[in-house]
Amino acid sequence: WAFGGMIFVLVYCTAGISGGHINPAVTFGLFLARKVSLARAILYMVAQSLGAICGVGLVKAFQNAYFTKYGGGANGLADGYSQGTGLAAEIIGTFVLVYTVFSATDPKRNARDSHVPVLAPLPIGFAVFIVHLATIPITGTGINPARSLGAAVIYNNDKAWDDHW
């Protein structure tokens, strides 16, 4: 529940500031749908990536023993899975997240049901939770490219970059 719950809180808290943009994959999807300008999408993705790098740096600074023990939170392909399987899991997981964001924030739905914008973070957080249940055993879940980048940059181990697509 931790992953989904935290996404629920973050999206809810940042919705009024940035529209809840905390994931470059979602921002890119919204750019492709012409809901975000190119300039804003680039700025959001840069900020998301820098924020993730800083966040992982703070985790390393305050919890270095756990950080090192758990590989810095970097994504990696589990034994027994091919790179194709890992890539497919990440593509499907990211699709589920982006599709849920589009569905939960659909303005047509808003016209019929006035409380949808307030509740939009709930299905988004639940989707993140479900995707994590499915993909943590395979890749460690990399549906947020910024989080994956932050962990790889700060951990800075050759293995951290092996399965970083």
Buried/exposed code over 87-124 (b: 16+ C-beta within 10 A; e: otherwise): eebbeebbebbbebbeebbeeeeeeeeeebeeebbebb
Assess whether pLDDT exceeds 70 at residue 109: no
Structural domains for the chain: 2-162 (1.20.1080.10)
Instruction: Identify the three-state secondary structure at position 41.
Output: helix
Q: Over the stretch 61-95, which tens digit does the pLDDT of each residue have?
A: 999 999 999 989 889 999 999 999 999 999 999 99
% of the chain with per-residue pLDDT over 70? 92
pLDDT of residue 140: 92
Q: pLDDT category, 127, cuts 50, 70, 90?
A: very high
d(CA 105, CA 124): 10
Query: What's the pLDDT score for residue 165?
Result: 64
Range of lowest pLDDT (11-20, 23-32, 108-117, 149-158): 108-117
What is the amino acid identity at position 116?
V
Q: Above 70 in pLDDT, residue 113?
A: no
* Residue 115: per-residue pLDDT: 52
Name the phi and psi angles at 26, rounded to 5. Answer: -70, -45
Q: What is the pLDDT of residues 6-20, one digit of tens each?
A: 998 988 888 888 888
